[in-house]
Amino acid sequence: MKKFTLLFLLLLFVNSSYSQDILLEQDIYLRSYLSDKRDVYPVVDDFSGKITLFLIDSDTINALTYNKTYKPLNTFKCQRPSGKFKILIGHTVDQNNYNLFFTNKRNKEFLVKSIDLINNTSKEYRIPFKLNTEEYLQSICYKNKLYILSRTNYSSIYKLRVFEDNKLGICIEHDFTEILSPNSEPYRIADDLYDSPDRSATMTSFKKIEYNNPNSLDITSEQYKVYCYDDQIVLSFDNEKDKTKLITINLNNYTYKIKNYNQDPLDHSNRTNALSNSYIHMDKLYQLIVNKKELCLTINSLKTDSLLKTYRVKGEDEISFKNSALIQEIDGKGFTDSERELGKTKQVLRKLLAGSLGISVYETGNKLEVLLGGIKASPSTGNMIAMGLVGAVAIPLASGGAYYAVPNYTMNSYSSYTNSRSVYFKCLFDKQNLEHIVGDPSQNPFDKIKEFLDTIKTPQTTQTIFKINNHFVLGYYLSDEKKYYLRKFE
């Protein structure tokens, strides 16, 4: 009886502690028999701050709109695009017109669903171009515009198409032949794979990184990444062990610059037995390189091209800059107890060399939480564990939705964060001087979201996570109450 009472009081405390974080409670009816064919796509107007949630199922799009203080403004329902256009790759916003861009499974043809949330009308437009001789690489939504990055087949000619409203505004072509060596080019999937009857999706070559998220190593361990911030798109290439190559495209004039950042030369250097990778956060490039004898982390300023900090440890030494145990997740469950601590640095180095290396940086207050480690298998080739959307491809989502693929990178970050198979340790650095800080890492918003979701029963397909201002918002539906909730986490 005492145990029951204690458990009851604990659950009561957990739920009451979250009640103050409710941003919205809205009555809405969602058809339960479509629960396995539903995805949620959040859109934040970068200029007005309005928030729109598009709940997309097998035949309809439900739009729920709120102002920046989460007051409901409008609801609207329309038909989803029919036929082959099942993959959502992004959006543009023009005042009260929201344009959702869809593509087919081969990423060759495109359609726009234009939704007017003032007059409650919708229209569809076929975009008059096809990527017949190009490979679709990634789509990026930034300041209410949509950027589509592609590459001419079997070449290093990259194209950037810019969409405003529902129209193509400009197409910029850059020839990187002299910049990218042959082994620097992302792998192109042959067309015959797309037509395989048992293959409903393919994977893009560049991983889109939202660097303000607490990203998992499953995401950041990719060799080819794309970032968008401060009116620029940055392509990073980590396929060569001794350097990171960055191509930065200015979104105001579409000029580009190229920069190579050499990895630190390790002692006992043997490049054939080394792994390396990088991560960009707040105009700083974090580079990690490992061999069987040593691990080295360097931090460079992208503004001044100067080395800011170096952390190094040899296999026989303790890691003086770590703030957690050396952890090995052994079942891919992330938040379960199925993990074990590694006792020695050399064990970590050996296990890192057996997989794919990654770095993740998350800012919390005046501290930087840096995650260093690797995953058991590359997300591109290994076991896909709740990876959700990778770029904009129709693979089974972590939420359970399978009909649409939606480019919600924050939800994807959360899904992979909570289902990682990795070896890692955490570090805390001062945000200003990058000096190591002693102390235990605190819970980040994803930890808190997972803890809360464990206390309620909600269809995973109606869950969404997005970031606005300096906090994360969890959206979820309680079918018993027929209510949709938005809840704040920071």
Q: What is the pLDDT of residues 148-188, one digit of tens each?
A: 999 999 888 999 999 999 999 999 999 998 888 654 455 44
Structural element, H or E, at residue 309: strand 306-314
pLDDT band at 337; cut points 50, 70, 90: low
pLDDT digits (tens, 9 = 90+) for 197-215: 333 333 447 899 988 888 9
Contact of 102 with 110, CB cutoff 8 Å: yes
Is the pLDDT higher at 210 or at 402?
210
Q: List alpha helices for 278-386, DSSP H.
A: 345-352
Task: Identify the DSSP state of 409.
Answer: H
pLDDT score at 463: 85
Contact of 101 with 91, CB cutoff 8 Å: yes
pLDDT band at 345; cut points 50, 70, 90: very high
Q: What angle do CA 401, 407, 409 make, to 5 degrees?
A: 100
Q: Is the pLDDT of residue 339 over 70?
A: yes
Contact of 213 with 221, CB cutoff 8 Å: no
Q: How many residues does the chain have?
A: 490
Strand order in the sheet with 243-250: 207-208, 224-229, 232-237, 243-250, 256-262
Task: Tell me the C-alpha distance between 172 and 149, whole Å.
Answer: 10
Contact of 113 with 127, CB cutoff 8 Å: no
Residue that has been written with the tokens 């060759």 in this structure:
108
Q: How many helices (H) and strands (E) in the chain?
A: 6, 30
**Residue of 308, 321, 312 lying closest to 281 (CA atoms):** 308
Averaged confidence pLDDT in the chain: 82
Contact of 477 with 458, CB cutoff 8 Å: yes
Task: Tell me the C-alpha distance between 198 and 109, whole Å.
Answer: 21
pLDDT score at 67: 92
pLDDT digits (tens, 9 = 90+) for 118-150: 999 999 999 988 898 999 999 999 999 999 999
pTM for the model stands at 0.85
Q: Is the pLDDT of residue 225 over 60?
A: yes
Q: Is the pLDDT of residue 194 over 80?
A: no
Residue that has been written with the tokens 């499953």 in this structure:
218
Strand order in the sheet with 284-290: 275-281, 284-290, 294-301, 306-314
Q: Is the pLDDT of residue 224 over 60?
A: yes
Average pLDDT, integer, range 40-61 = 90
pLDDT score at 243: 94
Residue type, 235: L
Contact of 102 with 41, CB cutoff 8 Å: no
Is the pLDDT higher at 303 or at 395?
303
Structural element, H or E, at residue 277: strand 275-281
pLDDT digits (tens, 9 = 90+) for 447-487: 899 899 988 888 777 788 988 888 999 998 888 888 889 99
Token digits of residue 152: 């001419």
Token digits of residue 399: 């939420």
Q: Is the pLDDT of residue 60 over 60?
A: yes
Backbone angles phi, psi at 36, to 5 degrees: -90, 5
pLDDT score at 308: 98
Residue type, 387: M
Q: Is the pLDDT of residue 286 over 60?
A: yes
**Residue of 475, 471, 472 lying closest to 486 (CA atoms):** 475
Residue type, 311: Y
Q: Is the pLDDT of residue 404 over 50?
A: no
Average pLDDT, integer, range 254-275 = 85
pLDDT band at 411; cut points 50, 70, 90: confident
pLDDT digits (tens, 9 = 90+) for 299-310: 999 999 999 999
Contact of 165 with 94, CB cutoff 8 Å: yes
pLDDT score at 432: 94
Question: 51-56 and 39-44 as β-strands: parallel, antiparallel, unpaired?
Answer: antiparallel
Task: Tell me the C-alpha distance between 437 and 85, whole Å.
Answer: 50
Q: Which of these ranges, 160-174, 287-301, 390-404, 411-425, has the smallest mean pLDDT?
A: 390-404
